Amino acid sequence: MLKPRIFAIAGAALILLAAGAASLLGKDGTGSHALSGAATVVDERTLQIGGDMAHLWGLEPLADAGQARETLATLVADKPVWCTPITPSEHAAMRCFVANENIAVLLLARGEARTPGTLRGGEKDWVRSYKAAEAHAQHAHLGVWHE
Protein backbone atom coordinates (compact mmCIF):
# COMPACT_ATOMS: atom_id res chain seq x y z
CA MET A 1 0.00 0.00 0.00
CA LEU A 2 2.89 2.32 0.70
CA LYS A 3 4.53 1.96 -2.75
CA PRO A 4 1.63 3.50 -4.79
CA ARG A 5 1.52 6.41 -2.36
CA ILE A 6 5.28 6.99 -2.66
CA PHE A 7 5.01 6.93 -6.48
CA ALA A 8 2.13 9.40 -6.36
CA ILE A 9 4.10 11.77 -4.12
CA ALA A 10 7.23 11.41 -6.29
CA GLY A 11 5.18 12.06 -9.44
CA ALA A 12 3.61 15.18 -7.93
CA ALA A 13 7.06 16.41 -6.90
CA LEU A 14 8.37 15.94 -10.45
CA ILE A 15 5.44 17.88 -11.87
CA LEU A 16 6.08 20.74 -9.44
CA LEU A 17 9.80 20.75 -10.28
CA ALA A 18 9.05 20.83 -14.01
CA ALA A 19 6.60 23.70 -13.56
CA GLY A 20 9.14 25.64 -11.53
CA ALA A 21 11.85 25.06 -14.12
CA ALA A 22 9.51 26.19 -16.90
CA SER A 23 8.77 29.42 -15.08
CA LEU A 24 12.49 30.05 -14.56
CA LEU A 25 13.22 29.40 -18.22
CA GLY A 26 10.46 31.65 -19.45
CA LYS A 27 7.47 31.10 -21.67
CA ASP A 28 9.57 30.15 -24.69
CA GLY A 29 12.00 27.83 -22.90
CA THR A 30 15.08 29.90 -23.77
CA GLY A 31 15.53 31.88 -20.58
CA SER A 32 14.02 35.01 -22.13
CA HIS A 33 10.36 35.72 -21.82
CA ALA A 34 8.17 36.35 -24.79
CA LEU A 35 6.52 39.74 -24.53
CA SER A 36 3.01 40.87 -25.31
CA GLY A 37 0.90 43.96 -24.83
CA ALA A 38 0.75 47.58 -25.87
CA ALA A 39 4.01 48.82 -27.37
CA THR A 40 5.65 52.21 -27.51
CA VAL A 41 8.38 53.07 -30.00
CA VAL A 42 11.85 53.74 -28.59
CA ASP A 43 13.60 54.04 -31.96
CA GLU A 44 13.18 52.69 -35.49
CA ARG A 45 14.19 49.19 -34.36
CA THR A 46 13.10 49.03 -30.72
CA LEU A 47 9.77 48.71 -28.94
CA GLN A 48 9.01 48.93 -25.25
CA ILE A 49 6.36 46.54 -23.95
CA GLY A 50 5.68 47.04 -20.28
CA GLY A 51 9.11 47.55 -18.75
CA ASP A 52 10.89 45.38 -21.32
CA MET A 53 12.65 46.30 -24.55
CA ALA A 54 12.15 44.37 -27.76
CA HIS A 55 14.87 44.95 -30.34
CA LEU A 56 13.55 44.01 -33.79
CA TRP A 57 15.79 41.30 -35.20
CA GLY A 58 17.20 41.46 -38.72
CA LEU A 59 17.20 45.23 -39.26
CA GLU A 60 20.21 47.49 -39.61
CA PRO A 61 20.31 51.07 -38.36
CA LEU A 62 19.40 53.76 -40.85
CA ALA A 63 21.19 57.08 -41.25
CA ASP A 64 17.83 58.90 -41.46
CA ALA A 65 15.44 56.92 -39.28
CA GLY A 66 12.69 59.51 -38.75
CA GLN A 67 10.25 58.08 -41.28
CA ALA A 68 10.92 54.50 -40.16
CA ARG A 69 10.15 55.48 -36.57
CA GLU A 70 6.88 57.13 -37.63
CA THR A 71 5.89 54.08 -39.68
CA LEU A 72 6.68 51.79 -36.76
CA ALA A 73 4.59 53.96 -34.42
CA THR A 74 1.66 53.78 -36.85
CA LEU A 75 1.97 50.00 -37.16
CA VAL A 76 1.76 49.40 -33.41
CA ALA A 77 -0.58 52.22 -32.36
CA ASP A 78 -3.49 50.93 -30.26
CA LYS A 79 -2.81 47.31 -31.26
CA PRO A 80 -1.57 44.38 -29.20
CA VAL A 81 1.99 43.36 -30.04
CA TRP A 82 3.70 40.09 -29.20
CA CYS A 83 7.38 39.25 -29.50
CA THR A 84 9.44 36.08 -29.33
CA PRO A 85 13.18 36.11 -28.61
CA ILE A 86 15.71 34.88 -31.14
CA THR A 87 18.31 34.19 -28.43
CA PRO A 88 18.19 33.78 -24.65
CA SER A 89 20.26 36.91 -23.93
CA GLU A 90 18.96 39.61 -21.62
CA HIS A 91 18.86 42.15 -24.48
CA ALA A 92 17.53 39.63 -26.95
CA ALA A 93 16.71 40.50 -30.48
CA MET A 94 13.10 39.56 -31.12
CA ARG A 95 10.67 38.87 -33.87
CA CYS A 96 7.62 41.00 -33.09
CA PHE A 97 4.16 40.74 -34.54
CA VAL A 98 1.08 42.92 -34.87
CA ALA A 99 -2.14 41.47 -36.32
CA ASN A 100 -0.15 38.26 -37.01
CA GLU A 101 2.27 40.14 -39.27
CA ASN A 102 6.00 40.31 -38.59
CA ILE A 103 6.71 43.99 -37.89
CA ALA A 104 10.24 43.87 -39.33
CA VAL A 105 8.93 42.36 -42.58
CA LEU A 106 6.30 45.11 -42.79
CA LEU A 107 9.02 47.76 -42.38
CA LEU A 108 11.25 46.07 -44.95
CA ALA A 109 8.42 45.80 -47.49
CA ARG A 110 7.77 49.55 -47.18
CA GLY A 111 11.44 50.38 -47.62
CA GLU A 112 11.59 51.72 -44.05
CA ALA A 113 14.37 49.34 -43.07
CA ARG A 114 17.21 47.29 -44.50
CA THR A 115 18.60 43.90 -43.57
CA PRO A 116 22.24 43.75 -42.54
CA GLY A 117 24.65 42.19 -45.01
CA THR A 118 25.42 39.61 -42.33
CA LEU A 119 21.84 38.27 -42.17
CA ARG A 120 22.19 34.49 -42.14
CA GLY A 121 19.88 31.50 -41.88
CA GLY A 122 18.50 31.54 -45.43
CA GLU A 123 17.08 28.06 -44.93
CA LYS A 124 14.59 29.45 -42.45
CA ASP A 125 11.29 30.71 -43.83
CA TRP A 126 11.37 33.84 -41.71
CA VAL A 127 14.83 34.84 -42.99
CA ARG A 128 13.65 34.31 -46.58
CA SER A 129 10.61 36.49 -45.85
CA TYR A 130 12.91 39.31 -44.65
CA LYS A 131 15.01 39.14 -47.81
CA ALA A 132 11.94 38.92 -50.07
CA ALA A 133 10.33 41.95 -48.40
CA GLU A 134 13.53 43.97 -48.81
CA ALA A 135 13.85 42.91 -52.46
CA HIS A 136 10.25 43.99 -53.11
CA ALA A 137 10.90 47.48 -51.69
CA GLN A 138 14.16 47.76 -53.60
CA HIS A 139 12.57 46.83 -56.95
CA ALA A 140 9.61 49.15 -56.28
CA HIS A 141 11.98 51.98 -55.23
CA LEU A 142 10.22 52.45 -51.88
CA GLY A 143 11.58 54.26 -48.83
CA VAL A 144 15.34 53.95 -48.54
CA TRP A 145 15.39 52.55 -52.08
CA HIS A 146 13.72 55.64 -53.57
CA GLU A 147 15.85 57.12 -56.34
In this structure, the answer to whether residues 10 and 56 fall within a common structural domain is: no
Residue 134: what pLDDT? 94
Q: Which domain holds residue 133?
A: 32-145
Q: How many domains does the chain have?
A: 2
Of 6-20, 48-62, 114-128, the range with the lowest mean pLDDT is 6-20
Does 81 lie in the same domain as 15? Answer: no
* pLDDT for the residue 125: 84
Residues 15 and 39 in one domain: no
Residues 59 and 116 in one domain: yes
The string over 73-95, giving b where at least 16 C-beta atoms fall within 10 Å of a residue's C-beta and e elsewhere, is eebbeeeebbbbbbeeeeebbbb
Instruction: Examine the domain organization and report whether 74 and 18 are in the same domain.
Output: no
- Do 88 and 27 lie in one domain? The reply is no
Residue 65, pLDDT > 60, answer: yes
